[in-house]
Amino acid sequence: MESKRKYFKCGCGHAVLEIDQWSDATHPQIYLGFFEIGLNKDNRYGWKERLRHAWYVIKTGRAFADSVVLEVSEAEALGKALLESTLSGDSK
C-alpha cells in the first residue's frame, strides 16, 4: 500500500495536520491526523492534565479524537468545503 503523506502547520505554530492517502485499490481512504509540535521536556502535559485525560477515558470509555479516516467521497466534500471557505474569504 503506497502512501501520499503531506503536513500542514497550524498558524499558531504549535500543531500540525497530517493528510495521508492510501492507494489501496479495494478501499481507498484518506487519513487526517492532528499533532502537537514540540513535545519536548518544556512542553509536556503536567500531571493534572494527564490525569484529566485518563479520567475522561475511564469515565466515558472514549479517547479524545485526534484523527479521522475519511472515505474518498467524504474527503472530496471536505476539500470542496475548504475551497468554498477560502474563496469566500478572499472576496471580503
Domains in the chain: how many in total? 1
pLDDT given for residue 33 in this prediction: 85
Domain with 23, as residue range(s), is: 3-90
Q: What is the pLDDT along the chain (92 residues), one digit of tens a residue?
A: 566 788 888 777 777 888 888 766 677 788 888 877 655 556 667 788 889 888 888 998 877 677 788 888 898 999 898 888 888 765 44
Distances (CA, A) of 75 to 64, 66, 90: 21, 17, 23
Taking phi over 0 as left and psi of -120 to 50 as alpha, with beta for the rest, 41 belongs to alpha
Contact yes or no for 31/19 (Cβ under 8 A): yes
For residue 69, the SS3 value is strand
